[in-house]
Amino acid sequence: MKRELWYSAVVRDPNGKVIARERRKSRSFLRQWNDIIRSQVTGATGYIKRIDADVVKGIAPEGQNIKMTSAGGIETSQSIVVGSGDTAVTISDYYVETVIAHGAGAGELNYQAATVNDSVVSAPNCGFVVERAFINDSGGDVTVREMAICVRMKGETYFGYACIARDVLGAPQVIPNGGSLSTAYTLRVTA
């Protein structure tokens, strides 16, 4: 009767040993998910708030809507994104609270390519998994407190990015220098 969203986060030390893991039902799709779904389902243009807080360019039915794959140069705009904020999720959130930048500087993580797996049916469920890893080459610890899914979307003219789900982790995850964080979201429907 519902579409469920689950996430997982696994932290490894520099030797690849798992030092922490978390798997939970996602706190929330955000309103942007319904803004995009509404546009696709109805064929109508509408309102949406992008990750840059722009609310003017809107949303329209478009082939690239919901794109969750990653690409160079937009590491923190599309697919799974992590941050250090821990403010509770609200339906109107439009991005992570404090994004962790892509890179090897202090407090940064190297965002790896994301994978969007095929849908798999295992009655009564049908779901698919989006995965992304982050490597800490910063020289110090990096603490992740939140994660989100951002997707490519388009208004009548302009492409952009919107955040469709956000979670505050159950516990802050400290990624040691040389270690990594592997994340996954599962989007599933159940009959």
Partner 1 sequence: MKREKSTLVKPHNEVLSYLVEVTDKEGHVIKRIEAPSKSFVRQWNQVVNIQAKQLASTLTDTGGVGRSISVVSVNLLIQAGAGVTNYGIRVGKGSTAVTINDYALETPLAEGAGADQLNHVAGTYTGVAINGSDASFNIKRSMINNSGSTISGINEIGAYMRMGSYYGLAFRDVLGGAVSVPDGGAITITYTIKVSA
Stretch that binds partner 1, among 21-29, 49-57, 98-106, 139-147 (CB under 8 A): 21-29
What letter would DSSP give residue 99? B
* CB-nearer residue toward partner 1: 15 or 118: 118
Q: Which stretch binds partner 1 (CB under 8 A): 14-22, 56-64, 136-144, 168-176?
A: 56-64
| Whole-angstrom distance, CA of residue 98 vs CA of residue 32 | 19
User: Which of 14, 18, 25, 113 touches partner 1 (CB under 8 A)?
Assistant: 25
d(CA 109, CA 103): 5
Query: Omega into 124 within 30° of 0, i.e. cis?
Result: yes
CB of 68 to partner 1, least distance (A): 4
Among 14, 21, 41, 106, binds partner 1 (CB under 8 A): 41
Nearer to partner 1, 109 or 151 (CB): 151
Check residue 73 for interaction with partner 1 (CB under 8 A).
no
CA-wise closest residue to 65 among 32, 91, 26, 21: 32
- For residue 51, the minimal CB distance to partner 1 (Å) is 17
Instruction: Pick one of 42, 87, 143, 177: the residue that binds partner 1 (CB under 8 A).
Output: 42
Binding status of residue 47 toward partner 1 by CB under 8 A? yes
Q: Tell me the pairing of strands 79-83 and 110-111.
A: unpaired
Q: Which amino acid is at 6?
A: W
Does residue 145 sit in helix, strand or coil? strand
